[in-house]
Amino acid sequence: MHSIKVETEKGHEIVKRMILTQIQEGKLQPGERLPSVVELGNSFGVGRSTIREALSALKATGWIEVKHGGGTFVSKVLPSEQAENNDPFQQSDNIRELLEVRIWLESGSAAAAAKRRNEQDLKQLSSILAQMEQAIASNDTQLSERADIEFHLAISSASHNELLNTLMVSLTSKLVETIGTTRRLRFFGDSSSATLLLKEHQDIYKAIEQGQSELASELIQTHLLKVQQALSSSLPN
């Protein structure tokens, strides 16, 4: 990967586009392992947080996969550009509707995950919770937000329903794109709010771990309703 210096307030967007271009042009092949965060940072001339944000965005849109303890890889099956252009989530600018749909999707996703999760799913969810706890302890708002996003996507993955998982990836990508900064400042800029969110995520995990599908669904619905209400004052009418 060639070196490029990025000097912009939105460097992660440029880094994301550069990596995406290399994937689309075939310079990075499906299934190929990406360089480490440190190596990518040196290559692009940016910090680790910028690289992590870019990778999170690429993961949310299905272009890369992160294997805990195993590195980051280009997805074996790449998203269809035509499908992205026809994606109703990507075309919608109604954030209130997107948040409402998210509640419906995730309540079903959590219920399915409680019924179908395997040991690898639980290991991944537990690992993400540990990252979230570490981020709160170090007051790292970007890491906290990224762990939160990965936790919800890991639940949809644990549902073992490919269509549901695809919908969640697309919806998450749109929400990160539109309200990511507002959401990060509102929930992870304050330690007490971040700690409360961690507790809610831990309770959701326990319900999934114990196979309590109704409880998992109820907990994630309550959690997301709180998020929706907290963000409502920042959303356009």
- The predicted-structure confidence for 125-163, as pLDDT tens digits, reads as follows 999 999 999 988 888 887 888 888 889 989 998 999 888
Question: Could you tell me which residue, 51 or 126, shows the higher pLDDT?
Answer: 126
Residues 123, 89, single domain; the answer is: yes
Amino acid at site 212: Q
Out of 48-62, 184-198, 222-236, pick the least confident.
184-198
Which domain range does residue 163 map to?
81-234
50/191 Cα distance (integer angstroms):
22
The CATH number of residue 217's host domain is 1.20.120.530
The CATH number of residue 41's host domain is 1.10.10.10
Residues 208, 96, single domain; the answer is: yes
**Phi, psi for 88 (deg, rounded to 5):** -65, -30
Residues 174, 67, single domain; the answer is: no
Percent of the chain with pLDDT over 70: 80
Residues 70, 89, single domain; the answer is: no
Q: Answer yes or no: is pLDDT of 61 > 80.
A: no
- Write down which residue in 74, 104, 123 finishes a domain: 74
State pTM to two decimals: 0.67
Out of 85-99, 150-164, 178-192, 203-217, pick the least confident.
178-192
Q: Sorting pLDDT into bands at 50, 70 and 90, what band is 4? A: very low
pLDDT tens digits, residue range 179-190? 555 555 556 556
